[in-house]
Amino acid sequence: MLTLAPQSRVCLSLTLLVTLECMPMNATIERFLQYLRLERNLSWRTVDTYRRDLAQWEDYMTGGNRPLDLVSVTAGDLRSWLIKRSAHGDCPATLRRRVQALRALYRYLLRKNLVTVNPAAQVELAKLAKPLPKLVREKTVNALLDAEIDLDDFTQVRDRLIVMLFYETGIRLSELIGLQDSAVDTDKCELKVHGKRDKDRLIPFGDELVQWITRYRRLRAGVRPVCGNLLVTAKGNPLYSSLVYRVVHEGLAMAGGTGKLSPHVLRHTFASVMLNRGAELNSVKELLGHESLAATQVYTHVTLSELQHNYELAHPRALKKGG
């Protein structure tokens, strides 16, 4: 799988935007996509996903050989397309995303007075199963963080700091990669994260993390970084996703972890640990940078599930079989 370095992503984003303008799509849909990218400031990944969904829908509606009439589209037309997509193997999550793309398009058309109804609003979203977030056992993370390493080796210290930042702050992969050195204040014990929708938040951290950041910065001076990021490669360049993922996955696997071992799983683990230790739900929401409390409440189910599991393993009455 091809992975781009962060400095290449801006160019790719611009390239995709130009691609949007050159795609043989309905001109109104093209303007909608540009609106999402330039005015709504959605990521190029999201816009490109919308583009592919809407291009497939347009091809279905026109047969590829006639103009698309956005005004005459009905909810029945949309349902027919979704039935066809389901027959081709689309999962509920994909079908749900396609409907959301169409709803967004028609909301845009309504604001522009190009249509009078939103047919996609009449189409029910596919129901999704809600699996609990995957976690890593605390003992696994602690085994990794307590393992001995060469404290004079830049890469080993950086990799330890990567895991520690995920586990002790709950930041996202993209937030860690983009974390600026100037945004990490070891005197105040806080870091400033630039998160989703261009929103910033402050996250406190403890003395242990201060010591590791200080140690890492001393070693980083010998690397001569070429950017302002806190974390860099051995050549001084910004980190990239596959490198960070590999550091986390291999480290947790060596410490005895099983199943999915990713940066986002460490984020889930951070939230669960905080709630298990008595943190208020709203505080965890702010630390994670969630838009709504509903997104954070899923971790209460995780902690209750863990409590039930421990109860069934340990309580004498739970262990009793039969009468």
Q: H/E element holding 191?
A: strand 190-194
CB atoms within 10 A of CB 47: 22
Cα dist from 112 to 24, 105, 118, 128, 245, whole Å? 22, 11, 12, 32, 43
CA angle 202, 204, 209 (to 5 degrees): 130
Residue 141 bridge partners (DSSP): none
Rounded CA-CA distance 51/21 in Å is 11
Q: What CA–CA distance (Å, rounded) separates 103 from 107?
A: 6
The Cα 184–Cα 179 span in angstroms is: 8
Which of 298, 316, 315 is CA-nearest to residue 307?
A: 315
Task: Retrieve residue 190's tokens.
Answer: 């806080």
Q: Give the DSSP letter string of 202-221.
A: EEE--HHHHHHHHHHHHHHT
- Using CA atoms, how far apart are residues 212 and 196, in angstroms rounded to an integer? 27
| Residue positions annotated with a catalytic role | 172, 196, 264, 267, 290, 299
Largest CA distance in the chain: 73
